[in-house]
Amino acid sequence: MTEQRLVPRALIVLLCTAGAVVTLSGIRAIGSIIGPVLLALVLVLAVSPVRTWLRRRGAPGWTLVAVPLILVLLLLFGMVTILTVAVAQTAGLASTYGPQFNQLLAEAETLGVRFGIGPAQVNQAIRSFDLGKVFTLVQGFASGLLGVFSSLILVTVLMLAMCLDAQTFSRALASGAAHRPGLVRALDDFAHKTRRYLVVSTVFGVICSALDVTALWLLDVPLPLLWGVLALITNYIPNLGFVIGLIPPALLGLLEGGPRTMVLVIVSYVMINFVVQSLIQPKFLGDAVGLSTTVTLLSLLVWAFVLGPLGALLAIPLSLLVRALLIDSDPDGEWVAALISGELPSESSEKPFQTDERDGPG
């Protein structure tokens, strides 16, 4: 203890910060490899209950690998198809609504002059706003995800390898519980929290998307089904995903029906998001995430910077993995866990590890 106290705490903080910067820089440099690996890991964890269900019912060994893999591949192909359509549609919409946009800008200029704003200022503001840039932002996000999901061969091979090693990995963790109980418990909690987060987010994302599609259909906004699916995908992005999913239908509402339609689209999205995701969803999600609002937002910014759109999509699972490896596995990390979760230390105390109630991380 005496030797530890001789090391200045500020030096420890600086070394840890430098190590984090170097690690994240390295991950970013090989993001084309790390991204598919992390995506495959999260997808394998998502279908892990299917493998457990088949094993308990005595299904043949090959089905424990084939069935989860097929389910994930269907999901990936579906997302690739949706993102491809989204990219193609957003690429053509900007040019299609060019005349309507110019008319709206002319009306905005007239309205600005009526309120005493000089023509030069209005023209400068109009020139600084480019509809194509807004659509390019959404299109770039979708293209970034499509670039990762399109690497289906690499992702498929990784998932196949992880599915084949899942049982061995689970047994190895169970046998190592006596030697490294903290690490095994942390990995088990990571797998459980990730699955719960994905399930709850998917269920409530589908509910929000269905309500969004209904609102867009009633307001005569083009392509309501496409924007509903985009809202489902962006639902996995904490904090900012809602805004990304709102931009295309709001702009289309403006071009199709004018400012009134755009305002109605925004109000509908905000009300649906507030009721479902802010009032109802947290009651079902509970403490599954274990990350405070501030940490969640910082995680989104960091992982989006490191891995791009895929990092934004997987921000919560990746943060849970970092927490499991660096904090929850450390017996002295309880106060740090309480700090990042926003809970009192007494509320975040460790629970007894039980291997028979959950499926292992693999």
- For the stretch 192-235, pLDDT in tens is 888 888 888 888 889 999 999 999 999 988 888 888 888 888 88
Residue 37 CA to residue 43 CA, distance in Å, equals: 10
What b-and-e string marks burial along 87-107, b requiring 16 or more CB atoms within 10 Å of the CB? Answer: bebbeebbeebeeebeebbee
CB of 113 closer than 8 Å to CB of 119: yes
pLDDT-based confidence at residue 110 (cuts at 50, 70, 90): low
- Residue 66's CB is within 10 A of a number of other CB atoms, namely 15
pLDDT at residue 20 tops 80: yes
Residue 254 CA to residue 226 CA, distance in Å, equals: 17
Q: Comparing C-alpha atoms, which of 142, 162, 134 is closest to residue 39?
A: 162
Residue 225 CA to residue 235 CA, distance in Å, equals: 15
Name the amino acid, one letter, at 314. Answer: L
Residue 313 CA to residue 332 CA, distance in Å, equals: 31
Section 131-141 average pLDDT: 56
Q: Which has the minimum average pLDDT: 97-101, 179-183, 262-266?
A: 97-101
Q: pLDDT: is 121 or 216 the higher one? A: 216
CB of 273 closer than 8 Å to CB of 242: yes
Section 240-244 average pLDDT: 81
pLDDT at residue 122 tops 70: no
Residue 60 CA to residue 310 CA, distance in Å, equals: 34
Average pLDDT value for the chain: 76
Residue 39 CA to residue 145 CA, distance in Å, equals: 11
SS (H, E, C) the chain: CHHHHHCCHHHHHHHHHHHHHHHHHHHHHCHHHHHHHHHHHHHHHHCHHHHHHHHHCCCCCCHHHHHHHHHHHHHHHHHHHHHHHHHHHHHHHHHHCHHHHHHHHHHHHHHHHHCCCCHHHHHHHHHHCCHHHHHHHHHHHHHHHHHHHCCHHHHHHHHHHHHHHHHHHHHHHHHCCCCCHHHHHHHHHHHHHHHHHHHHHHHHHHHHHHHHHHHHHHCCCCCHHHHHHHHHHHCCCCCCHHHHHHHHHHHHHHHHHCHHHHHHHHHHHHHHHHHHHHHHHHHHHCCCCCCCHHHHHHHHHHHHHHHCHHHHHCHHHHHHHHHHHHHHCCCCCHHHHHHHHCCCCCCCCCCCCCCCCCCCCC
Distances (CA, A) of 323 to 197, 238, 317, 336, 339: 15, 17, 10, 10, 12
Section 292-318 average pLDDT: 86
Section 293-317 average pLDDT: 86
- Any residues with CB less than 8 A from the CB of 41 and at least 6 apart, and which? 162
Q: What is the pLDDT of residue 347?
A: 46
Residue 151 CA to residue 39 CA, distance in Å, equals: 11
pLDDT-based confidence at residue 353 (cuts at 50, 70, 90): very low
